[in-house]
Amino acid sequence: MSAPLRRAEAGLARLHQLSNGVRVICDPVPGLETLALSVVAGRGARSEDAERSGWSHLLEHMVFKGAGERSAKDIVEVIEADGGQINAATGYERTSFQVRALAGGLDLGARVLADLVQRPTLEAEDLAREKQVVGQEIAEAADTPDDIVFEMAQAAAFGDHPLGRSILGTEASIATATPKTLGDWRAALYAPDSLVVAASGAVDEDELLAIAERDFGAAAGQGAPEPPPAEFAGGISAEAKRLEQANLVFLLPSVGVTHEDYFALRLFAEILGGGMASRLFQEAREKRGLAYAVDAYAETYAETGVLGVFAGCAAGDAAELAKVAAGQIMALAERVEPAELARAKAQLKAGLFMARESPLARAEQAAGQVLLFGRMLTPQEIAEDIDRVEAADLARIGAGVLAPGRAAVSVLGPKPALKAAESFQRALFG
């Protein structure tokens, strides 16, 4: 049976744990007529070795081909017949299966998701077809410049580490999967030690706990080995291609999501290029007209992360845009204006509280927090952490991203744009 672990300090959400290690989160939201149910495994593409690259994503596809007593058609029809929606997503550190439903849809949603996670049929004929589908997805990504340029940057940043490989894998790596080996991978990837069942919206705690015990209380399996620590390698990946625009990504090493400076990194990225009032948007687009699209972001994993800048621009402007991006990073590392910091904090908190209005976002966020921290964080706790960030913390982030003297740069576009890689490196590090 389950045991309560923690009640969120300022809310109704509660965390329980089943005897087999599966954790259950109940987050009722009064007044809603819908609910969201997420079954989240705290493993993903980062757990793969090179030979199994892409298997987590392939498995996510395959469980929808048939599970329990339901065919692929039955899985979606039974959910949609009740007004619900079903989806899934594979990331580097997490795999998530989700159902949105009307009030009263918890029982059916849990039965279907439990079958997907624990009892997929994994038929050989389905696997052969799905390998073709994923192969088309890989080809489509390769034909999409603003997809492939991020994969190039990821590879430049993390090299042979799993974080440096595409979540989709390669046609060669997914070709080796068989129903047996994929089934073994399922047992490791979705093992109960990293499984979280989270429900938010029109849900009742007693009903959820009974359903979770029924559908996930017998889940078994030995988890995949812990992935190796990631180290930022850095380097340049540049490819000349006949395109209308140059696509640029600049990455610098930074902290992970569990680090005390996590929110300082998020705020640094927000001020640098998080919106129309950001430094990059104002300088590169509004003042100089160098790019239509330019933004900065923080991509974080458990123990590491990156500060990133993406831009799409004319090939002839790429080198100059790279200098501007480098200059703005260095300037922000030196000084932040109080009004900028206040605005960034307001934006970050607004995003947090707006997401709280979606049951699915609440369920996914709570599951992620439990997987990372072993508990749920209240919105007030997060807001207080954001408010505590000072200018000195941003200066520390700026010094940290520049100190190693390494960047990962990817450029995809007409040949003149390739100069942007060296331009960025030289402007930052001489």
Residues annotated as catalytic (active site), given as ranges: 60
Cα of 301 vs its chain's centroid, Å:
8
Report the alpha-carbon distance of residue 117 to residue 33 in Å, rounded: 26
Both tokens assigned to 251: 């990455």
Q: What's the order of all strands across the beta sheet hosting 291-300?
A: 235-240, 408-413, 246-254, 305-313, 291-300
Count the residues in the chain. Answer: 430
Q: What's the order of all strands across the beta sheet hosting 195-201?
A: 3-7, 14-17, 23-28, 195-201, 34-41, 95-102, 85-90
The DSSP bridge partners found for residue 308 are 251, 297
Both tokens assigned to 371: 């997987």
Q: What is the DSSP letter of 168?
A: T
Name every residue whose Cβ is closer than 8 Å to that of residue 383 and which is 6 or more positions away in sequence: 349, 352
With 0-12 CB in 10 A as exposed, 13-18 as middle and 19+ as buried, what is 140?
A: exposed
Both tokens assigned to 243: 């395109």
Both tokens assigned to 52: 């199994």
**What amino acid is encoded at 280 in this protein?**
L
Q: Indicate the SS3 state at residue 31.
A: coil
Both tokens assigned to 240: 């000349």
CB 323 within 8 A of CB 423: yes
The DSSP bridge partners found for residue 250 are 309, 409
Q: Which of 175, 39, 198 is nearest to 119 (CA)?
A: 39
- Compute the radius of gyration of the chain from its Cα atoms: 23
CB 67 within 8 A of CB 20: no
Q: How far is CA 217 from CA 13, 79, 192, 375, in A?
A: 20, 23, 9, 20
Both tokens assigned to 30: 């009064």
Question: Longest C-alpha distance within the chain, in Å?
Answer: 65
